Amino acid sequence: MDYEFFLVLICFAIGVLVYKMVLRHFWKSTMFEGLENQQTSAVSSGLAESSGANLAATKKLVEALENKVLLTNASYNVNYSDKCTAVYDAINLMMVDIVANIDISNKSQIYTQLTNLNTLYQSKQAINDTLKFIDATETTAQK
């Protein structure tokens, strides 16, 4: 019994050695998963270097747009909301017009009309999101 145990132990050790040699031979890559072996110490260029300046410029742009649109003014807010509603209704009517004029016998025309219909649908979603933003903005009259 000691002989069989010793034989199994020797076979296991030989198997482990062969396994390690095969791994070293076929997988000699020094690249680790993730960036564990990255050699750089600091970011020298790219987005991270100028992110603070970009944020400041973005905030300045937002402020300029707020001053241009004056969405917090109650009368402008109502006008913008009414304009979005009118555009939304116009898009709905244009979609009905496209569907009413689809010619099923002309395949290329169907694809063109469906593309136009899809574009109008996406426009409708954009108008709806804009209207939600306008309605969510607190005006000076609401304070």
Task: Note down pLDDT in tens along the chain; length 143 residues.
Answer: 677 877 888 888 888 878 777 766 666 655 555 555 556 555 555 666 777 788 888 899 999 988 888 888 888 899 999 999 999 999 999 999 999 999 889 888 999 999 999 999 999 999 999 999 998 988 875 44
112 found inside a domain: yes
140 found inside a domain: yes
55 found inside a domain: no
31 found inside a domain: no
What is this structure's pTM?
Answer: 0.58
Kindly state the DSSP code that residue 139 receives in the 8-state scheme: P
- Closest CA relative to residue 93, chosen from 127, 134, 124, 126: 124
52 found inside a domain: no
17 found inside a domain: no
Name the residue type at position 77. N
**pLDDT at residue number 143:** 46
Name the residue type at position 23. L
43 found inside a domain: no
Q: How far is it, in rounded angstroms, from Cα 5 to Cα 11?
A: 10
136 found inside a domain: yes
**pLDDT at residue number 16:** 82
Q: How far is CA 61 from each of CA 58, 87, 99, rounded to the nearest angstrom?
A: 5, 26, 41
Question: Number of folded domains in the chain?
Answer: 1
**pLDDT at residue number 40:** 58
